[in-house]
Amino acid sequence: MSDAQNTPESKPGFKAELPSELLRVLIDLLGQKAREATKSVYANAINLQVNELDVKIIFGDGQPTPNWHTAVTMPWTLVKLLIYYLQSNLAVHEIANGTIKLPASFLPASLVVPSDLETNPTSKEIFESLQAYRTKLMDEQIPLHKDLASE
């Protein structure tokens, strides 16, 4: 008898699939092992390195001089998804707990107007987009009360 004829798959009544409950337990155990092997770190400082293919986020702790300890590099597609999930979770947190106030030293500096703003449409679009993000953040931190301005 050849080896091909003596495999479990060739025997009558053999099922090559794991029962669904056993498969679920196996997947849960593998997921638990993966979570246990995951390193957990604290960070209160970040730095970014970007290029055309991906973004490296470097994490550190300690202020004013951080101890950089962990870096994660991810493609732009994952960055976009990460931003969505971070914004979604931040929105839920702020609705439940109020707007997170940043220390003044954490607020982004004013943007420098590019010299080619009027001649380069891409430069203008980038500047306006960044300015809109900054304005939204600053308005959340220092609300402009229309009712007080009219008094």
pLDDT 10s digits, 62-92: 988 999 999 999 999 999 999 999 999 999 9
- Would the pLDDT of 26 be above 80? no
| % of the chain with per-residue pLDDT over 90 | 57
The domain limits of the chain are: 40-80, 100-145
Neighbours of 102 (CB within 10 A): 13
Give whole-number Cα distances, 74 to 36, 38, 71, 88, 101, in Å: 22, 17, 10, 20, 28
Using 50, 70 and 90 to split pLDDT, how confident is the model at 30?
A: confident
Query: 3-27: b or e for each residue (b if 16 or more CB lie within 10 Å)?
Result: eeeeeeeeeeeeeeeeeeeeeeeee
What pLDDT is recorded for position 10?
Answer: 52
